[in-house]
Structure 1
Amino acid sequence: MKVSELMEFDGSKYLKDENDYRLYLAQAFEGGDPVEIQAALGDVAKARGMTALARESGIAREALYRALSNKGNAEFATIMKVIVAMGLHLTLVKPEAAPKAAAKAKTAPKAAVAKKARPVAKRAGSASRGRTRPGSAAHA
């Protein structure tokens, strides 16, 4: 089979309800790629019904198809109209907040293992704590 014979993937066929729409868009926004965000908005628009979204947003249906395609170049105002027409709004958070919490949860067991190995190293180093080595500047 040739690549040209393959059908293009259409994510809108797999989006069934408002929760699917939100999760799909959240994933696209998390990636941060403007083309991916536009395409995801287009998929959600198709899944919800492009005609209804055009009516709610006040943007012509054909213009929405063009703007929300992979090759589209939608203005930010258009993106915001689409988001509002979908009954959504944007919220900004620091990108480190969620990944740090997830990373801490993943490394917690490893940290406990590392702490068990440390007392041996601390005992060896603690004997020389507070003392200076012979030949050092403080001892001479």
Structure 2
Amino acid sequence: MEFSGVDHIAIIGHNAERMLEFYVEHLGFTVQADHVRPDKEDRLILVEKNGLVLELFVKPQAPKRPVLPHPEHTGLRHLAFKVDDVQATLAYFDEVGIPHQGLRYDDFTQKKMAFFFDPDGLPLELHE
């Protein structure tokens, strides 16, 4: 058995408009498909950027995660996006109201990084 890469990452959120504004308008993903699934009481929106596919599950009744941000819960800690300029991206986030933590430096590589959050509080990271 050999893995050839990551096929997609699934994210559950409560509000389609807020998720689309965040992932498409602000992060630059493109909608590839949009499916309403009445039998599952949700909507599945596939978005893509530079080969990375996110499955955005819109589930208004989904239970909320434990109090965030707390990166030390078991499971997926965060999703990190590579950017050319963390500081410029944080400045943009300030302009459009995306919550984030301040600029940090990776303990091992000393590259610039910062944590930010999607509309449902999912921890995400910027990394140069």
TM-score if structure 2 supplies the norm length?
Answer: 0.24
Higher strand proportion: 2
Higher helix proportion: 1
TM-score if structure 1 supplies the norm length?
Answer: 0.22
Larger Rg computed on CA atoms = 1
